[in-house]
A and B are shown apart, each in its own frame.
Chain A
């Protein structure tokens, strides 16, 4: 039976539609003009170490309630502000709010000076020095090392190496292990339909626009649906801001250093060596089973860039089998830093795992310190007493 006609409802709906139309017009003009773009990656931070284009940032937060410090190793192909996208939807902000001391190793924007950089440059050169800087800054002897995407590979190779004993926890976020399970662009490189030399530019690196085109061409028409959805929600300031932030990050890639790219294509893509559990790095063989840390393998169920199937083999290869943990998250590749699923699932669950594998420090409030940090939406246990079982943390 149809609901009875109520004139007040009709007036209410008309009023709402008129108001939304006015807001759509205002936001539409702002969007087209490119004004009112959200500021991205704004959590205050200090540069505590740098080498070449690489920088180590220490985020300013409130009192530190958990140790060891968390060091995030970012990918080589994208911008690290995905993990600090906007205030209120920032993974960094969430970790700080939980009382963690957070560092980010950002590789910067490579140019011709970085064309000779190999994986060894990052894993054996930059990473140990950046971690030494963390130790100097904090006095800590151990770290929680978290790598995102290709950054996870570098974090893992470091943790499996001779200096890896200072890694207490290793968090692999959307980290590819089985490159046979990756998307069509990787398949084209594997099968030789695309050659490395085809993709390098005059600087000796893979240009950022080639990487953007590669990701864009995975689903070239989805932008139509996205733009239509934007039009529908144009009245909603929050939606428009989130859309612009995501759009900017998606288009904002960085060049991939040529020598590292050659290595990735040959060893990781064509030989798929990580699935064997060992990789040659310089004059040594790194065995993934040599990782001594607690390992969290976090993967997104709808990740179209690094499918969960490409990450899952880490659960059988990295570290001690009794110290491996799986975290399946709803959402796509960016669920580690953006979107509703990130706020509802990724940030709380990732933070909870880290704090539960960290030591609680004396509550600074009790010691008379005043918190300057913003609180996260949900707080993990602050005493570090929670211990997850060494098993899968499934989706809720």
Chain B
């Protein structure tokens, strides 16, 4: 079944806008901007996390970064336990 006229128009308009947008997001400039924005975002997050960490540590509470570190350590312990389990099963 053919598409109604209004839908044909929407699809044509979308392609008219879409093609230049797609070529723009494949350009060097776009990826430079993405990289800069990502770095700026990370700096911002680090800044906010640093402040909140100090505040939380002042009242003797763990911050998100502390929890993350604990989870990373748990991951390492988990992997080591898996290795030991395999060694025991193999032996």
A327 at the interface (CB under 8 A from B): no
A residues 210-259 with Cβ under 8 Å of B? 210, 217-222, 224-225, 228-229, 232
Are B35 and A195 in contact, with the CB atoms below 8 A?
yes
Contacts of B22 in A (CB 8 A): 218-221
A33 at the interface (CB under 8 A from B): no
Are A224 and B38 in contact, with the CB atoms below 8 A?
no
Docked complex Cα distance between A51 and B83 (Å): 11
Are B32 and A193 in contact, with the CB atoms below 8 A?
yes
Contacts of B62 in A (CB 8 A): none
- A221 with B21, Cβ < 8 A, contacts A113-B71, A114-B75 known: yes
Docked complex Cα distance between A194 and B32 (Å): 8
Contacts of B10 in A (CB 8 A): 224-225, 228
Contacts of B38 in A (CB 8 A): 198-199, 210
Contacts of A184 in B (CB 8 A): 25-26
Docked complex Cα distance between A204 and B74 (Å): 15
Are B11 and A228 in contact, with the CB atoms below 8 A?
yes
Are A112 and B75 in contact, with the CB atoms below 8 A?
yes
The proximity string for A residues 101-121 relative to B, scoring 1 for CB distances below 8 Å and 0 otherwise, is 000000000011111100000
Docked complex Cα distance between A114 and B74 (Å): 10
Are A220 and B25 in contact, with the CB atoms below 8 A?
yes
Docked complex Cα distance between A209 and B18 (Å): 22
Number of interface residues, chain A, beta carbon within 8 A: 34
Docked complex Cα distance between A228 and B18 (Å): 15
- A220 with B21, Cβ < 8 A, contacts A184-B26, A232-B7 known: yes
- A232 with B39, Cβ < 8 A, contacts A112-B71, A113-B74 known: no
Docked complex Cα distance between A116 and B65 (Å): 17
Contacts of A198 in B (CB 8 A): 34-35, 38-39
Docked complex Cα distance between A225 and B8 (Å): 9
A382 at the interface (CB under 8 A from B): no
The residue from B39, B65, B82 contacting A51, defined by CB atoms under 8 A apart: B82
A283 at the interface (CB under 8 A from B): no
Are B26 and A113 in contact, with the CB atoms below 8 A?
no
Are A221 and B7 in contact, with the CB atoms below 8 A?
no
Besides A202-B65, A224-B13, A225-B15, 20 new A-B residue pairs in contact (Cβ under 8 A), listed by A number: A52-B75, A111-B71, A113-B74, A113-B75, A114-B75, A115-B75, A116-B79, A193-B31, A194-B34, A202-B42, A202-B49, A203-B68, A204-B72, A220-B18, A220-B21, A221-B22, A224-B14, A228-B7, A228-B10, A229-B7
What 8 A-B pairs have minimum CB-CB distances, sorted nearest first?
A113-B75, A221-B18, A193-B31, A228-B10, A184-B26, A225-B14, A188-B31, A198-B38
Residues in A lying within 8 Å of B, measured CB to CB: 51-52, 111-116, 125, 129, 184, 187-188, 193-195, 198-199, 201-204, 210, 217-222, 224-225, 228-229, 232
- Pairs across A and B, CB under 8 Å, 10 listed: A52-B82, A113-B71, A116-B76, A125-B82, A184-B26, A221-B14, A221-B21, A222-B14, A225-B15, A228-B7
